[in-house]
């Protein structure tokens, strides 16, 4: 058998098989040599490396023990003496561990290690004697023993000498390992090069033979295809073989024959199409069409019949070679003769058995001839036949003629319909031409006026679009940056927090500390991004003000509580001297909190010892809040720049205390936005005083502020989750899913996850959860649409929802969320585990699916027992009033501040709590949080009894979690009605 007749696949398999065997041989040899190198490397690691590391630790221990003995001389009988002795014991224990490593790993004489160990033991006895002398007060004698020339110094030097001998042997043994490994490497490289050269030669020989068997037929086939593509349609390949190339050549030759025939047919069809497109006049078109069809189909007779205006008959319009008998018309409503089938089916009909009485005859000099075949071609307009073309031949039609007519039928139909339509349009256009001339003159006059107005409108519209686009781009940029920057940071912070919890005690302490570094720096970067975005919104004029009423004490208490842990950690005293008697303010609570947080935070940061004090007073219609510290102070020349962006007093301040210089800049801009000011007085080295001046009542347009139910950095414990509490988490970010699921599942919640809004709605359709945690930015169906659809259903109308998002929520979006009963929001990246658990616990406790709020309250309806009502009120007169209203029908328990109120609630387990908002020590909001965080007290209804009765106060108080609202002075009827409804569980 010729090699060229062997199949290509067989040739390739044989060649590749030989190469794979050689490669396997190369791999086996490499593995053997690599294993030998590994043994040498392992020996190098087990002896020289481990021994020298143990020696390094031993020297370190000896040096520190000697230093510790010296320190004992200096401290005498001071209280630090015990610490030094403890450190010496620790280093001594570590030294014995290193001796164990040397005994196990050292390849030299065992006597070297034993001598060093014995010397260390003798030195220990010497140290014990020295310590005894110190205890006896013989300090001079002890000092001589410890000195370099004393017995203790000589013992230590002997130990170091023994360790040096061990080190020298280990170094020599390492050199020996290295030389052995180098010899093994040289042997491996020589063998590999030899085998690689043999593989390359074998591969080249096999490749040459395979390429030769492939190149020759490919060249023959390429030559044939090149000539064919160059226009030589008659060229064919002459290569002969039984392998794949022979089959490919045969297929090519057959394809070339088919393509040549097809191209010829298409060429004829193109010529006919050109003839049809050349004429617009109907009669000329039909005449040229018949000529072309007769020429290319071999017909002798051709005729075109058109449907008349009454659509009753087809009348002869043009013909070639048709005898006198075929010039009549035929019915369009009663199909007959050769045209009947074509009219009925709407397709080309081929008639071979021609009847003797046919009207189609071919007239010749020698007489009339009957055609052998007739072709009838219907022309359709929509579903109706509007023309018929009939061809006849005295010979049988070849298949190519039939295919030609089928290929050109669509063009012929479209073109004939177009010519017919053109004739009608031309007739109609002639009628309209006169009218158009009259209208044209009027149009010219109107066009001039329209052009002038259009130019003005275009200029105005262009300016408007530019302004709208600029505003849109600003808004889109701020919104996108808020989400796109926070989202990856949330992944870093969230997953770092998950690992922090999961890997505790599972990895070494040093590696575990890395997670704290990642999470801490992630939060610092998130704070920086928030500051930059806040600054961008302010400068772009997009920052919104939401007004509400609050007390100065409430504002300062919240910020001070937030910063207190930071101050306590630094050892700085944070004093809150703000009086509860100051009037309420009408301003933006969140921005005031931001200002104070930056000012007080800076004061704590730049104060290394001493105190930071916050005080406030009213001057006319303004509130002055002063923040004084005993920190490093600010130089006079720097006072004018500290409120500039990215500026601090000097570069060393940033390096020493951290920060970006944005905090004070944002605080200043917020103060300006709220019609206030910030001033500063400072003495370097003595401290600074920042004074924030804000109007008591802002004159800006009224607005609503969304103050979430969850207080940041709350220290109150979260209520325990109830068994079977189902939480639906709707989140498309995998890190956030892992973080939230990890936190909640650890507390016993049953968490199900939906990756987008559509899936969330499907899950709610199947089973309504007890509560839902929802992201706003999701593909397809976003969080806003999910909220609207959930609130639109009766069974989920009061489903508790917590918003967890990285998006900057605008004022309009806040209003939309409030309108759908959402009063809880947590920003991604700033998720605190305790805050999240407290929020979810309170949210789940309010779930309409859980009847806990009414269970256990039936006792108040017993005829023989009075309900117990706890009244928390700091004003004695108000307490008397409430007591007078309740004494006859209820048992009243009294408390005069928030802290006592919580304690009384836990002691008496009341059926109802009446809570004032402005309370000493702990205000009503904080007391409510502690009550809701207590699993026993959580179901107890709490009604706000307050003098805060301004517009919006009721909605704000209810949004913070109160079950009812009563304003002072008390309306007795409304008071009793509200009490009854609360006790009845309505």
The per-residue pLDDT for range 805-850, each reduced to its tens digit, is 776 677 677 777 766 667 577 776 667 777 788 788 877 776 554 4
715, HSE (Cβ side, Cα atoms, 13 Å): 8
Q: Could you tell me if residue 526 is inside a domain?
A: no
- What is the structure's pLDDT at 469? 76
Calculate mean pLDDT across residues 778-788: 84
Q: C-alpha distances in angstroms, 919 versus 471, 553, 704, 915, 916?
A: 46, 10, 24, 9, 7
Pick 67 or 915 by higher pLDDT: 915
- What is the structure's pLDDT at 628? 94
Q: C-alpha distances in angstroms, 717 versus 281, 658, 714, 842, 933?
A: 95, 32, 8, 11, 6
pLDDT at 862 over 50: no
Residues 18 and 96 placed together within one structural domain of the fold? yes
Q: Could you tell me if residue 486 is inside a domain?
A: no
Q: Could you tell me if residue 353 is inside a domain?
A: yes
- What is the structure's pLDDT at 660? 57
Could you give the CA distance from residue 915 to residue 900 in angstroms, rounded to a whole number?
12
Q: What percent of the chain has pLDDT over 70?
A: 82
* Average pLDDT of the residues of the chain: 78
Q: C-alpha distances in angstroms, 955 versus 222, 268, 843, 983?
A: 85, 85, 18, 22
Confidence band for 860, pLDDT divided at 50, 70 and 90: very low
Could you list the residue range(s) of the whole structural domain that residue 872 is in? 853-983
- What is the structure's pLDDT at 99? 84
pLDDT at 914 over 90: yes
- Report the CATH number that the domain containing residue 307 is assigned in CATH: 3.30.450.40
Last residue of a domain, one of 650, 675, 695: 695
Query: Under 8 Å CB-to-CB from 584, ≥6 apart: which residues?
Result: 549, 550, 551, 696, 948
Residues 47 and 176 placed together within one structural domain of the fold? yes
Could you give the CA distance from residue 983 to residue 869 in angstroms, rounded to a whole number?
10
Pick 337 or 843 by higher pLDDT: 843
- Report the CATH number that the domain containing residue 745 is assigned in CATH: 3.40.50.2300
Residues 161 and 89 placed together within one structural domain of the fold? yes
- What is the structure's pLDDT at 556? 92
Q: Could you tell me if residue 827 is inside a domain?
A: yes
Which of the residue ranges 197-201, 505-509, 653-657 would you say has the lowest mean pLDDT?
653-657
3-state secondary structure of 221: helix
Q: Are strands 868-872 and 801-805 parallel, antiparallel or unpaired?
A: unpaired
- What is the structure's pLDDT at 159? 82
800, HSE (Cβ side, Cα atoms, 13 Å): 23
Residues 47 and 190 placed together within one structural domain of the fold? yes
Nearest to 568 by CA among 691, 715, 667, 712: 715
- What is the structure's pLDDT at 709? 42
- What is the structure's pLDDT at 654? 46
Confidence band for 195, pLDDT divided at 50, 70 and 90: confident
Q: C-alpha distances in angstroms, 394 versus 183, 292, 368, 724?
A: 99, 18, 11, 93
DSSP 395: S
Query: Under 8 Å CB-to-CB from 768, ≥6 apart: which residues?
Result: 795, 796, 799, 849
pLDDT at 723 over 70: no
Handedness of CA 844, 850, 855, 861 (dihedral sign): positive
- What is the structure's pLDDT at 78? 63
Pick 65 or 852 by higher pLDDT: 65
Calculate mean pLDDT across residues 214-223: 76
- What is the structure's pLDDT at 142? 77
Q: Could you tell me if residue 490 is inside a domain?
A: no
Predicted confidence (pLDDT) per residue in 747-759, tens digit? 888 889 998 888 8
Q: Could you tell me if residue 313 is inside a domain?
A: yes
Which of the residue ranges 760-769, 897-906, 953-962 would you say has the lowest mean pLDDT?
953-962
Residue 965's H or E segment, with its range, is strand 964-967
Q: C-alpha distances in angstroms, 750 versus 773, 833, 847?
A: 13, 17, 15
Could you give the CA distance from residue 888 to residue 712 in angstroms, rounded to a whole number?
41
Pick 890 or 526 by higher pLDDT: 890
Calculate mean pLDDT across residues 21-42: 75
Which range scores top for mean pLDDT: 218-232, 263-277, 709-723, 904-918?
Answer: 904-918
- What is the structure's pLDDT at 986? 46
Residues 144 and 103 placed together within one structural domain of the fold? yes
Residues 657 and 559 placed together within one structural domain of the fold? yes
Could you give the CA distance from residue 751 to residue 743 in angstroms, rounded to a whole number?
10
**How buried is residue 167: exposed, middle or buried, by Cβ count under 10 Å (0-12/13-18/19+)?**
middle
Any idea which residue has 């639906």 for tokens? 728
pLDDT at 710 over 50: no
Q: Could you tell me if residue 494 is inside a domain?
A: no
Question: Could you give the number of structural domains in the chain?
Answer: 5
Pick 483 or 921 by higher pLDDT: 921
- What is the structure's pLDDT at 852? 37
Could you give the CA distance from residue 393 to residue 405 in angstroms, rounded to a whole number?
14
Q: Are 609 and 572 in contact (CB under 8 A)?
A: yes
- What is the structure's pLDDT at 712? 37
pLDDT at 624 over 90: yes
Last residue of a domain, one of 798, 820, 849: 849
Residues 158 and 20 placed together within one structural domain of the fold? yes
Residues 99 and 83 placed together within one structural domain of the fold? yes
pLDDT at 903 over 50: yes
pLDDT at 366 over 60: no
Q: Are 130 and 152 in contact (CB under 8 A)?
A: yes
Last residue of a domain, one of 815, 849, 883: 849
pLDDT at 616 over 90: yes
Predicted confidence (pLDDT) per residue in 951-968, tens digit? 567 778 888 889 888 887
Nearest to 825 by CA among 732, 705, 673: 705
Confidence band for 645, pLDDT divided at 50, 70 and 90: low
Residues 891 and 957 placed together within one structural domain of the fold? yes
- Report the CATH number that the domain containing residue 689 is assigned in CATH: 3.30.565.10
502 token code pair = 């999961």
Could you give the CA distance from residue 858 to residue 564 in angstroms, rounded to a whole number?
43
3-state secondary structure of 712: coil
Q: Are 90 and 64 in contact (CB under 8 A)?
A: no
Which of the residue ranges 101-110, 353-362, 431-440, 715-724 would you say has the lowest mean pLDDT?
715-724
Residues 747 and 632 placed together within one structural domain of the fold? no
Label residues 392-428 b or e (16+ Cβ within 10 Å = b).
bbeeebeeebeebbebbbeebbebbbebbeeeeeeee
DSSP secondary structure of 249-292: HHHHHHHHHHHHHHHHHHHHHHHHHHHHHH--SHHHHHHHHHHH
Greatest alpha-carbon pair distance for the chain in Å reads 160
Cis peptide before 969 (omega within 30 of 0): yes
Q: Could you tell me if residue 536 is inside a domain?
A: no
- What is the structure's pLDDT at 855? 37
Q: What is the pTM of this model?
A: 0.36
Predicted confidence (pLDDT) per residue in 137-183, tens digit? 787 887 888 777 778 778 888 888 888 888 888 788 777 777 777 77
Residues 934 and 791 placed together within one structural domain of the fold? no
Predicted confidence (pLDDT) per residue in 55-109, tens digit? 888 888 888 888 888 877 777 666 677 888 888 888 888 888 888 888 877 777 8
pLDDT at 853 over 60: no
- Report the CATH number that the domain containing residue 12 is assigned in CATH: 1.20.120.30
pLDDT at 625 over 90: yes
Residues 199 and 59 placed together within one structural domain of the fold? yes
């Amino acid at each position: 058998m010729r090699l060229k007749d062997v199949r290509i696949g067989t040739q390739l398999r044989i060649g590749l098989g030989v190469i794979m065997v050689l490669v396997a041989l190369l791999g086996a040899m490499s593995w053997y040599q690599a294993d030998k190198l590994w043994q040498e490397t392992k020996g190098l690691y087990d002896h020289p490396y481990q021994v020298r590391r143990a020696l390094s630790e031993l020297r370190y221990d000896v040096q520190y023990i000697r230093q510790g003995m010296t320190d004992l001389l200096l401290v005498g009988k001071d209280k630090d003496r015990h610490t030094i002795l403890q450190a010496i014991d620790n280093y001594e224990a570590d030294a014995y561990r290193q001796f164990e490593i040397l005994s196990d790993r050292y390849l030299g004489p065992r006597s070297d290690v034993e001598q060093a160990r014995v010397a260390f033991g003798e030195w220990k006895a010497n140290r014990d004697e020295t310590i005894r002398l110190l205890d006896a007060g013989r300090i001079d004698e002890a000092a001589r023993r410890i000195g370099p020339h004393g017995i203790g110094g000589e013992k230590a030097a002997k130990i170091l000498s023994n360790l040096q001998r061990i080190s020298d042997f280990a170094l020599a043994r390492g050199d020996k390992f290295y030389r052995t490994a180098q010899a093994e490497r040289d042997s491996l490289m020589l063998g590999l090069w030899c085998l690689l050269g043999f593989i390359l030669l074998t591969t080249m020989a096999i490749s040459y033979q395979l390429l030769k068997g492939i190149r020759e037929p490919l060249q023959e086939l390429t030559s044939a295809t090149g000539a064919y593509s160059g226009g030589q349609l008659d060229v064919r390949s002459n290569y002969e073989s039984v392998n794949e190339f022979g089959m490919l050549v045969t297929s090519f030759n057959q394809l070339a024959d088919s393509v040549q025939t097809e191209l010829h047919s298409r060429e004829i069809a193109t010529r006919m199409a050109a003839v049809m497109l050349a004429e617009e006049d109907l009669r000329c078109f039909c005449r040229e069409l018949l000529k072309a069809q007769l020429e290319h189909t071999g017909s002798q007779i051709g005729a075109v019949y058109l449907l008349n205006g009454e659509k009753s008959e087809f009348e002869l319009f043009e013909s070639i070679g048709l005898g006198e008998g075929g010039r009549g018309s035929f019915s369009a409503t009663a199909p007959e003769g050769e045209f009947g089938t074509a009219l009925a089916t709407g397709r080309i009909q081929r008639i071979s058995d021609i009847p003797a009485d046919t009207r189609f005859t071919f007239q010749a000099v020698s007489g009339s001839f009957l055609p052998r075949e007739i072709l009838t071609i219907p022309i359709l307009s929509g579903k109706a036949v509007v023309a018929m073309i009939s061809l006849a031949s005295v010979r049988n039609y070849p298949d190519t003629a039939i295919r030609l007519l089928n290929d050109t039928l669509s063009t012929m139909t479209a073109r004939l319909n177009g010519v017919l339509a053109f004739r009608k349009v031309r007739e109609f256009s002639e009628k309209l031409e006169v009218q158009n001339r009259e209208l044209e003159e009027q149009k010219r006059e109107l066009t001039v006026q329209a052009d002038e107005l259009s130019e003005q409108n275009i200029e105005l519209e262009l300016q408007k679009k530019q302004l709208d686009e600029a505003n849109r781009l600003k808004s889109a940029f701020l919104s996108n940056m808020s989400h796109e920057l926070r989202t990856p940071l949330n992944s870093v912070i969230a997953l770092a927090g998950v690992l922090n919890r999961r890997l505790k005690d599972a990895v070494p302490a040093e590696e575990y500390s890395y997670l704290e570094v990642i999470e801490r720096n992630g939060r610092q970067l998130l704070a920086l991004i928030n500051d930059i975005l806040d600054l961008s919104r302010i400068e772009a004029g997009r920052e919104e003000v939401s007004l509400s009423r609050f007390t100065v004490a409430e504002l300062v208490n919240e910020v001070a509580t937030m910063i207190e842990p930071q101050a306590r950690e630094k050892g700085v005293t944070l004093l809150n001297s703000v009086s509860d008697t100051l009037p309420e303010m009408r301003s933006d609570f969140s921005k005031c909190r931001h200002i104070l947080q930056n000012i007080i935070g800076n004061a704590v940061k730049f104060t290394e010892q001493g105190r930071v004090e916050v005080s406030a007073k009213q001057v006319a219609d303004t509130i002055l809040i002063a923040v004084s510290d005993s920190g490093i102070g600010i130089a006079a020349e720097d006072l004018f720049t500290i409120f500039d962006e990215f500026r601090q007093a000097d570069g060393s301040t940033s390096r020493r205390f951290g920060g970006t210089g944005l905090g004070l800049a944002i605080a200043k801009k917020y103060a300006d936005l709220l019609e206030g000011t910030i001033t500063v007085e400072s003495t370097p080295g003595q401290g600074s005083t920042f004074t924030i001046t804000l109007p008591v009542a802002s004159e800006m347009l009224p607005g609503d502020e969304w103050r979430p139910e969850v207080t940041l950095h709350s220290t109150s414990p979260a209520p325990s989750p109830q068994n079977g509490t189902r939480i639906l988490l709707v989140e498309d970010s995998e890190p956030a899913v892992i973080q939230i699921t990890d936190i909640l599942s650890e507390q016993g919640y049953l968490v199900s996850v939906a990756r987008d809004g559509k899936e969330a709605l499907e899950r709610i359709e199947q089973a309504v959860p007890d509560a839902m945690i929802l992201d706003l930015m999701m593909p397809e169906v976003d969080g806003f649409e999910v909220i609207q659809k959930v609130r639109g259903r009766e069974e989920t109308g009061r489903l508790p929802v917590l918003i967890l998002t990285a998006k900057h929520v605008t004022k309009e979006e806040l209003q939309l969320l409030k309108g759908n009963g959402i009063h809880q929001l947590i920003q991604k990246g700033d998720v605190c585990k305790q805050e999240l658990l407290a929020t979810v616990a309170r949210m789940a406790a309010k779930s309409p699916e859980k009847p806990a709020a009414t269970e256990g309250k039936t006792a108040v309806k017993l005829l023989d027992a009075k309900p117990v009502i706890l009244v928390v009120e700091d004003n004695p007169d108000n307490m008397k009033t409430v007591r007078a209203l309740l004494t006859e029908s209820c048992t009243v328990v009294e408390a005069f501040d928030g802290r006592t109120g919580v304690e009384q609630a836990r002691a008496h387990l009341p059926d109802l709590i009446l809570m004032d908002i402005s309370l000493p020590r702990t205000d009503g909001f904080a007391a409510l949080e502690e009550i809701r965080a207590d699993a026993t007290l959580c179901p107890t209804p709490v009604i706000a009894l307050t003098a805060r009765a301004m517009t919006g106060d009721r909605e704000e108080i209810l949004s913070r979690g109160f079950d009812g609202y009563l304003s002072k002075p008390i309306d007795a009827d409304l008071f009793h009605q509200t009490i009854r409804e609360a006790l009845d569980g309505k």
